[in-house]
Amino acid sequence: MLKLKLWFVFCWKLNFLGLINTCQTLVLGQMTDLIYAEKDLVQSLKEYIRAEESKLSQIKSWAEKMDVLTSKSTSDPEGYLAHPVNAYKLVKRLNTDWLELENLVLQDTTNGFIANLTIQRQFFPTEEDETGAAKALMRLQDTYKLDPETLSRGNLPGTKYRSSLTVGDCFGMGKTAYNDGDYYHTVLWMEQALKQHDEGEDTTVSKVEILDYLSYAVFQFGDLHRAMELTRRLISLDSAHERAGSNLRYFEKLLEKEREEEEKEKSVNKTNTTTEPVVQSGAYERPLDYLPERDIYEALCRGEGVKMTPRRQKRLFCRYHDGNRNPHLLIAPFKEEDEWDSPHIVRYYDVMSDEEIEKIKQLAKPRLARATVRDPKTGVLTVASYRVSKSSWLEEDDDPVVAKVNQRMQQITGLTVKTAELLQVGALKDEPDAFKRLGTGNRVATFLNYMSDVEAGGATVFPDFGAAIWPKKGTAVFWYNLFRSGEGDYRTRHAACPVLVGCKWVSNKWFHERGNEFLRPCGRTEVD
């Protein structure tokens, strides 16, 4: 019982790093609907513009006609009214025609557009979604060591459509970080906003607003000199800015206090005649993370620190795999490639066809639910604002394709799917409590299907032994989470890297111990 509890703890930690780093762009599967919704709104807006233009055209035509008529009538009012028809038409115009014009001017052509906008708004992203998207972009920035200039200009590898961030966008990123108490990213993005503003980019965001956030964020890093410099610049643009004036006086007092302390130190230690120069470069270190493996994880995501030596490479082979002479695979075996020697990780090719992938995606999209993360401090599953990936679970009864894919995974691995978990599509998520509910033991193995290619990023990494496995559409990777003894192989803790460019779709099957006792017999030692 103690062993089982310990293994729950291990499984809890097993995917935690992956949970907080799963590719956020899986949500693109649903965001395509927003693309079409926005297109529909643009069409509706164009119809509104056409209606407004038609109305204005009628009003303009009426105005031009009346301008000619009134010019004539006012030049000789009595002569004009001498004609009885003119007198009649003047009365008619003022009593009837001008009323019709008034009705035309008051005609509301916004109804169609506003009605459509109201309907579509219920599907719009929320403020929480926007915050999550901004934080996801910052995670990409940190993981792949991208400076704000690179992201702002859209200089990313493998991009089909070029996109850039405006001053307002950069300012919004900085505000999101500021509101979260993340002064490191606040400085980076406010500096980028200020740079683009100084370059003359047209924007509704003022320099005063940018400098207000930037000066305070810089102060939080203890850089008093630069905080004062930025605050003085703010005051030069807006001398009536109350907070800036108050901040400047406060900074000056702090600086004076620092100087007094330095003088006291000098008087105590007269041999110390030099002081360190104040760094005013504006480059600040990212705060230390409470996850010790963060640096290793991010390096592997960038393809750095992979411990694949020439000696280890020689132990990796390719072969045809028939599932230990499984009758279904004898005529058409799968191509198997070693990805890593110990722990043994293999990749299978042509596991899923394009048609099967599209069908599974089609089944999963309506069921996608916001993926959760395990809070490392409380252990509670919660929705993280930075994580916008989604996942769903598919049963064999949902469609024959699901049953077919499940059967194929059983044939390849030689393990039974009867006690395995449902096919999960989307993002990886760990729910250790499921072991108790299922009563089928721990997760003995993982079968991970890659259902899309990814232009940049999106690797599956193993921080403990320095491996990185990259997505290839139609392939699958497989490894055992337990030794044959039933002990946990802690080396298989893994994490999903965020997708830098592209859209990552995965599906996975977790096989459990129960039902596989004779299909994968126990070993003689704990590490067999």
Torsion, Cα 146 148 149 154, to 10 degrees, reads 70
pLDDT value, residue 429: 35
- Average of pLDDT values for 383-404? 78
Residue tagged 């702002």 (tokens) = 152
Pairwise CA distance, residues 475 & 22, whole Å: 19
Residue tagged 């252990």 (tokens) = 379
Percent pLDDT > 90 in the chain is 59
Q: What is the pLDDT of residues 216-259, one digit of tens each?
A: 999 999 999 999 999 999 999 999 998 999 999 999 999 888 88
pLDDT value, residue 382: 53
> Three-state DSSP class for 358?
helix
3-state SS record for 395-414: CHHHCHHHHHHHHHHHHHHC
- Average of pLDDT values for 292-297? 86
Instruction: Give the residue with greater pLDDT, 11 vs 208.
Output: 208
Worst-scoring range by mean pLDDT, 16-20, 278-282, 383-387? 16-20
Instruction: Label residue 521 left, alpha or beta by phi (over 0 means left) and psi (-120 to 50 means alpha).
Output: beta
pLDDT value, residue 302: 94
Q: Which of 483, 510, 514, 320 is nearest to 421 (CA)?
A: 510
pLDDT value, residue 13: 33
Residue tagged 């916004």 (tokens) = 110
Does 438 score more than 70 pLDDT?
A: no
Instruction: Give the residue with greater pLDDT, 524 vs 181.
Output: 181
pLDDT value, residue 161: 76
CB 515 within 8 A of CB 472: no
Q: Per the omega criterion (within 30 degrees of 0), is the bond before 343 cis?
A: yes
pLDDT value, residue 283: 73
Instruction: Give the residue with greater pLDDT, 104 vs 162.
Output: 104
- The distance in angstroms from the start CA to the end CA of the chain is 21
Q: What is the pLDDT of residues 445-499, one digit of tens each?
A: 999 999 999 999 999 999 999 999 999 999 999 999 999 888 899 999 999 999 9
CB 494 within 8 A of CB 520: no
Instruction: Label residue 222 left, alpha or beta by phi (over 0 means left) and psi (-120 to 50 means alpha).
Output: left
Worst-scoring range by mean pLDDT, 61-70, 187-196, 280-289, 391-400? 280-289
Does 132 score more than 50 pLDDT?
A: yes
Q: What is the pLDDT of residues 396-412, one digit of tens each?
A: 999 999 999 999 999 99
pLDDT value, residue 270: 56
CB 521 within 8 A of CB 425: no
- Average of pLDDT values for 371-397? 60
pLDDT value, residue 88: 87
> Three-state DSSP class for 108?
coil
DSSP state of 333: P
DSSP result, 273-289: ---PPPP-S---PPPPP
Q: How confident is the model at residue 440 (pLDDT cuts 50, 70, 90)?
A: low
Q: Which of 105, 77, 104 is nearest to 90 (CA)?
A: 77
Residue tagged 């406060």 (tokens) = 250
Total residue count of the chain as it appears in this document: 528
pLDDT value, residue 369: 64
Q: How confident is the model at residue 73 (pLDDT cuts 50, 70, 90)?
A: very high
pLDDT value, residue 158: 77
Residue type, 46: K
pLDDT value, residue 367: 82
Q: What is the pLDDT of residues 305-328, one digit of tens each?
A: 888 889 899 999 999 999 989 999
- Average of pLDDT values for 170-197? 96
The overall average pLDDT reported for the chain is 84
Percent pLDDT > 70 in the chain is 84
Pairwise CA distance, residues 43 & 112, whole Å: 11
Q: What is the pLDDT of residues 45-65, one digit of tens each?
A: 999 999 999 999 999 999 999
Instruction: Give the residue with greater pLDDT, 66 vs 526.
Output: 66
Q: Which of 394, 357, 303 is nearest to 472 (CA)?
A: 357
Question: What residues form DSSP beta bridges with 391?
Answer: 369, 426
CB 227 within 8 A of CB 219: yes
Pairwise CA distance, residues 341 & 323, whole Å: 19
- Average of pLDDT values for 280-295? 73
Q: Both tokens of residue 360?
A: 């599974």
DSSP state of 398: G
Q: Both tokens of residue 286?
A: 């990212």
Q: How confident is the model at residue 278 (pLDDT cuts 50, 70, 90)?
A: very low
DSSP state of 481: S
pLDDT value, residue 476: 98
Q: Both tokens of residue 306?
A: 């992979």
Across 246-255, 261-270, 281-290, the highest mean pLDDT is recorded for 246-255
Q: What is the pLDDT of residues 330-379, one digit of tens each?
A: 999 999 999 999 999 999 999 999 999 999 999 998 887 655 544 544 54
pLDDT value, residue 233: 96
pLDDT value, residue 368: 76
pLDDT value, residue 292: 72
pLDDT value, residue 370: 53
Does 434 score more than 70 pLDDT?
A: no
pLDDT value, residue 284: 84
